[in-house]
Amino acid sequence: MKVFDMYAEYYNLLYAEKKYEEEVGYIDSLIKRYTKKSPAKGRLLDIGCGTGKHASLFLNKSYSCVIGIDISEKMINEAKKLEHNKLKFYVKDGKSFDFDLKFDVITSLFHVVSYQNTNKDISQFFSNVSNHLNNNGIFIFDFWYGPAVLTDKPSIRVKRYENKNIKLTRIAEPVIISNKNLVEVNYEILIQNKLDNGLSKLNEKHIMRYFFIPELEFLIKGNNMKIMGSFEWMTLKEPNFNSWYVVMIAKKII
């Protein structure tokens, strides 16, 4: 995941059109749907917070404390610009972070779970989440959904972005590693400086795991949690062969 340090500077441009407020509103509606009482004034942890936009918006939902963690120091340095007494950011790994407190809600968005490539990684990740949840606390995460990935297979894609300073072209070339449930996505990012026409290039490799609900159910149950629901991302529809991205809601059960 050190790969994120390579383009942290361009992260906000890459995802400038991402609808952070709508996504936080959607996640908040799921929290309320599966929580008997409002978690207002509770604590929320956002794992894989990136530059902190989701976390800062969650604070507007009346949590007493929101903490964001990310493995990338450069991402956290950007997120720290949003910090204040109720919003804090730390460089930590989702598999090994340790806080001397528990949370009412833990979120892990933008497919952070799919970056846990091995059984050991995902088991450690879920175990750590469970250890930091209050009883009946809610864990919400999204992931690449196996049936859709194998139906609508990844293909080469080109995206272009621009702001007042730079033009950015990102080429994605994916390779499916079927016997490991992985997709290796090779990115080439071309950056043109609009001020001096200078060109630079970044190459990255993102290895993503796609999951099936029965295996997640097994892993969740083994870590003292119970699946409460799963939906196609940003909807309340049951996942199907077209649902590349799925959100799952689990609850801590002792």
CATH number for the domain spanning 50: value is 3.40.50.150
Residues of the domain holding 173? 148-209
State the CB neighbour count (10 A cutoff) for residue 122: 21
Based on the fold, state whether residues 42 and 166 are members of the same structural domain.
no
Based on the fold, state whether residues 10 and 123 are members of the same structural domain.
yes
Read off the DSSP letter of residue 71.
S
Give this prediction's pTM. 0.91
What single letter denotes the amino acid at residue 195?
L
Of 150, 60, 109, 146, give the one whose Cα is nearest residue 234: 109
Residue-level length of the chain: 254
> Which helix (DSSP H) or strand (DSSP E) does residue 212 occupy?
none
Based on the fold, state whether residues 116 and 23 are members of the same structural domain.
yes
Based on the fold, state whether residues 121 and 43 are members of the same structural domain.
yes
The per-residue pLDDT string of the chain (254 residues; one tens digit each, 9 = 90 and over) reads: 344 544 555 666 777 778 899 999 999 999 999 986 555 568 999 999 999 999 999 988 878 899 999 999 988 998 999 999 999 999 999 999 999 999 999 999 999 999 999 999 999 999 999 999 999 999 999 999 999 999 999 999 999 988 888 888 999 999 999 999 999 999 999 888 888 888 888 898 999 999 999 999 999 999 999 999 999 999 999 999 999 999 999 999 97
Based on the fold, state whether residues 171 and 108 are members of the same structural domain.
no
